Amino acid sequence: MLTDVAGEILRGSPRAAARLITWLENEDPRAFPCMEALFPHSGRAYIIGITGSPGAGKSTLTDKLTQAIRSSGLTVGIIAVDPSSPFTGGAVLGDRVRMSQLSLDPGVFIRSMATRGFLGGMARATGEVVKVLDALGKDIILIETVGVGQDEVDIIGIADTTCVVLVPGLGDAIQSMKSGIMEIADVFVINKSDRSGADQLYTEVATRVEQDHHIKGRPWLAPVVKTVAVNNEGMEDLWEKIERHRRYLEASGEFMERRRERTGRETLRMIHHEIFRLVRRQLEDTGEMERLVGEITDRKRDPYSVMKEVLSGWLKQAGPAKEAS
């Protein structure tokens, strides 16, 4: 049976979606039954990651790309994962300003999330929000994320198509190659192509992609697209490349393969998080945590045997699937 909020989301209510996302962020137990009810209605949206350094123009690009997608008649959900902004319950101010036109469009849903304060990690939280927007009926979901820490790289694993945004003059390409972001790119975007050095960066990246293609035998040759997001230039081209990648994924069977991998990761992550939450709550509520930490700090105990003891004690007491909420 559908809960009210889930039912409203399936009827397309952005307010209900916003409420559920807040529950997810607060780990409010009301989120569980809603997510269960929505799950069968998710899995339809196509998910696009937009990643790159702060200031690369990701928000501007997301805004303009969304306009291009909207003009083809599809609806869009945007998740801006912004490590620098505290969570405000809505769009972060900077993004709201840049995406002001979009916020008036009922075919677009925008949500910003700060990366701090999620016990279960950003990737898990983002994966859940994706499902909500999917169930809300959005055709395309864009995730804007800064491509730095491990957790952000993990977020990229949520996307069907990942676009890596580079800009001339920041040594960005080299940085990205080191951090492994290059490996994850399905489409490269050279934004701020109005700046000098754009052609050089384009050649650098295209050459690198060709080399990888030949050396590592990658079946997909990641295209490189030049854009000037502020002037709305290159958006049709970018959208066309993304759609081409989608067709490639679907035709090659990689689409289902990637989604299976993701489902496995997400399920494990969810189990991991739930066990962590339950064990932690019990240890903290009983005061046992404090006692154990004291003993370990004083070298009366070691954390390895404590870990084994806590786990086996918890498993005995919890039994199979007891107290799952």
Interacting residues with Mg ion (CB under 5 A): 58-59
Residue 102 main-chain phi, psi, to 5 deg: -65, -35
Given Mg ion, ligand GDP, none, residue 57, with its beta carbon under 5 to 8 Å by kind, binds: ligand GDP
Contact residues for 237 (Cβ-Cβ < 8 A; gap 6+): 225, 226, 227
Residue 291 is encoded by which pair of tokens? 């006692």
Q: Which helix (H) or strand (E) holds 226?
A: strand 224-226
Given ligand GDP, Mg ion, none, residue 54, with its beta carbon under 5 to 8 Å by kind, binds: ligand GDP
Q: Does 60 bind ligand GDP (CB under 6 A)?
A: yes
In contact, 228 and 168? CB cutoff 8 Å: no
Given Mg ion, ligand GDP, none, residue 228, with its beta carbon under 5 to 8 Å by kind, binds: ligand GDP
In angstroms, what is the minimal distance from the CB of 191 to ligand GDP? 5
Q: In angstroms, rounded to a whole number, what is the distance separating the alpha carbons of residues 45 and 141?
A: 7
Q: Which is nearer to ligand GDP, 7 or 197 (CB)?
A: 197
Among 9, 24, 46, 57, binds ligand GDP (CB under 6 A): 57
Question: 């090659």: which residue's tokens?
Answer: 252
Among 99, 129, 228, 249, binds ligand GDP (CB under 6 A): 228
Residue 108 main-chain phi, psi, to 5 deg: -125, 135
Q: Is 315 helix (H, G, I), strand (E, B) or coil?
A: helix
- Position closest to ligand GDP via CB: 57
Q: Does 230 bind ligand GDP (CB under 6 A)?
A: yes
DSSP annotation of 231 reads: G
Residue 297 is encoded by which pair of tokens? 């700090």
Given Mg ion, ligand GDP, none, residue 60, with its beta carbon under 5 to 8 Å by kind, binds: ligand GDP
Q: Does 190 bind ligand GDP (CB under 6 A)?
A: no
Selected range binding ligand GDP among 1-9, 132-140, 177-185, 186-194, rule: CB under 6 A: 186-194
Q: Does 192 bind ligand GDP (CB under 6 A)?
A: yes
User: Binding-site residue total for ligand GDP (CB under 6 A)?
Assistant: 15
- Any idea what the Cα angle at residue 303 is, between residues 297 and 309, rounded to 5°? 125
In angstroms, what is the minimal distance from the CB of 263 to ligand GDP? 29
Q: Which is nearer to ligand GDP, 60 or 75 (CB)?
A: 60
Q: In angstroms, rounded to a whole number, what is the distance separating the alpha carbons of residues 249 and 2?
A: 33
- Interaction pattern, residues 140-179, with ligand GDP; x per rule: CB under 6 A: ----------------------------------------
Q: In angstroms, rounded to a whole number, what is the distance separating the alpha carbons of residues 114 and 122?
A: 9
Selected range binding ligand GDP among 187-195, 218-226, 246-254, 302-310, rule: CB under 6 A: 187-195
In contact, 159 and 47? CB cutoff 8 Å: yes
| Ramachandran category for residue 45: left, alpha or beta (phi over 0 → left; psi -120 to 50 → alpha) | beta
Site residues, ligand GDP (CB under 6 A):
52, 54-60, 191-192, 194-195, 228-230
